[in-house]
A and B are shown apart, each in its own frame.
Chain A
């Protein structure tokens, strides 16, 4: 067991946003935290990321309580998190200040390659598309070789075609690097396409309504009846009929 949420509760002033969250995530597992806007799922990710202290309960990782951010576990924002004053390779090398120069160069080259940004090493983020910026941010996170990645609606600002491509990329990278991934999203399809398990949160205050195992091998066939059944089950769980 890698990450363990132990009765996490959170209040902002008088408002309760999270209530008694218990969850365990295994090493190498891809878990989506799914819920409607405002259900506290981003807050939950900020708690496990060490940026916010919960008012109740605690998070442990490898048995140690989380007390602050830690380079072994990197938080990935929407693509706005890359540093605009650094080039692609400088961004990827940002967290590598403890490494020797050779090691740093080798890692930068490796992750430029992994996320397919060859030829853009010296470009600035403003010269990149949204999807490229997002890949850059993932590369910057992976370069420090963390155990865990936290992704907070990472593809929310991308157009729908790029978003699909990015999901495939992320799965490819996850399969290559075998990181533990916690991925927050409000997109049901996205969660069923990506995750080993989907944690469905209720509206505020966020509680775990249900944990759905997605026992489908990758690459997932989006017309597979089992995929559709799981997807519709979650639609139903959130109280949406899958009709428009």
Chain B
């Protein structure tokens, strides 16, 4: 069974690589056939990125972007999980707070950008704030729904064995909802990454979002525009894979694997 699964995964990976190569070839061919002077070929993009690396900007930009996402996202985790726990546990609190949250949630974090600039100026804090806003709501909602969907008999059994409220939360409630929190964290991360790039186009002068907007404005360097896009995609993929790794941890594996 396990060997079978490994083989299937290996085959899947090979297919993914092949598809990637085919798309790259198609891109290269399309640039040649169309004779475009603006759109870069794959090699132009690689050269552009190498140049960026020589100017020591590549790692700096990636580092800045990751730093901003880490700050905003971790702040959202630190606030979103306790708030979600409280709202799931006390339904009166949820009834009061939920309409506000559901109203704020559909507002794109980008709509907050003018306010973020007024409040935080042109600084790291503005994109961090936007990332926080983007990721905190999915985390709150996932945690709250997690608490509400805990089968009541788990809590009953915990109380029956004489657990204090604190032990009930740490030994029953939290492990029971951890898988749902994890799913919320993953969704929130996706949104945070989307918002980061847009946020960096406005308020700051470094990072991958800035790279794209700056490359276009200062000299129509479309090789760097496309290079920036690909880097964003690649980093997003890597980080998402890391988060998915968490689903195999012992504490949550019970909910993800049959």
Please give the residue numbers on chain A whose beta carbons come within 8 Å of chain B beta carbons, in ascending order: 49, 51, 68-71, 73-75, 77, 80-81, 83-86, 94-95, 97, 124-126, 144
Contacts and interface: CB of A to CB of B under 8 A. Distances in A.
A106 B73 CA distance: 45
Contacts of B251: 85
Given A80-B151, A97-B167, A71 B160 contact: yes
Q: Which of A51, A85, A94, A144 has the most CB of B within 10 A?
A: A85
A71 B162 CA distance: 6
| Interface size, B (range) | 20 to 34
A73 B255 CA distance: 30
Given A84-B255, A85-B254, A77 B161 contact: no
B50 interface: no
Contacts of A94: 161, 171
B255 A70 contact: no
A186 B86 CA distance: 39
Contacts of B171: 94
Contacts of B218: none
5 contacts: A69-B159, A69-B162, A80-B153, A81-B157, A86-B175
Given A71-B160, A85-B251, A95-B162, 12 more contacts: A51-B156, A70-B160, A75-B160, A77-B156, A77-B157, A81-B153, A83-B157, A83-B175, A97-B163, A124-B253, A126-B254, A126-B258
A94 B168 CA distance: 11
Nearest to A124: B254
B176 interface: yes
Contacts of A74: 160-161
A48 to B, nearest CB: 12
A86 B176 CA distance: 10
Per DSSP, chain B at the interface is helix
A75 B171 CA distance: 18
A95 B258 CA distance: 27
Contacts of B161: 71, 74, 94-95, 144
B160 A83 contact: no
Closest 10 CB pairs of A and B: A95-B161, A71-B162, A69-B160, A85-B175, A84-B254, A77-B153, A81-B153, A69-B159, A85-B254, A71-B161
A124 B256 CA distance: 13
Nearest to B172: A83
Contacts of B157: 75, 77, 81, 83
Majority secondary structure, A binding face:
loop
Interface of B: 151, 153-154, 156-157, 159-163, 167, 171-172, 175-176, 178, 251-255, 258
A81 B156 CA distance: 9
A73 B156 CA distance: 13
B160 A49 contact: yes
Contacts of B154: 81, 83
A59 to B, nearest CB: 15
Nearest to A75: B160
B53 to A, nearest CB: 45
Among A77, A80, A125, the most chain B Cβ lie within 10 Å of the Cβ of A77
Contacts of A68: 159
Nearest to B258: A126
Contacts of A95: 161-162
A95 B163 CA distance: 8
Nearest to B178: A85
A71 B252 CA distance: 27
A95 B254 CA distance: 21
A85 B176 contact: yes
A80 B176 CA distance: 13
Contacts of B254: 84-85, 124-126
A126 B160 CA distance: 23
B92 to A, nearest CB: 20
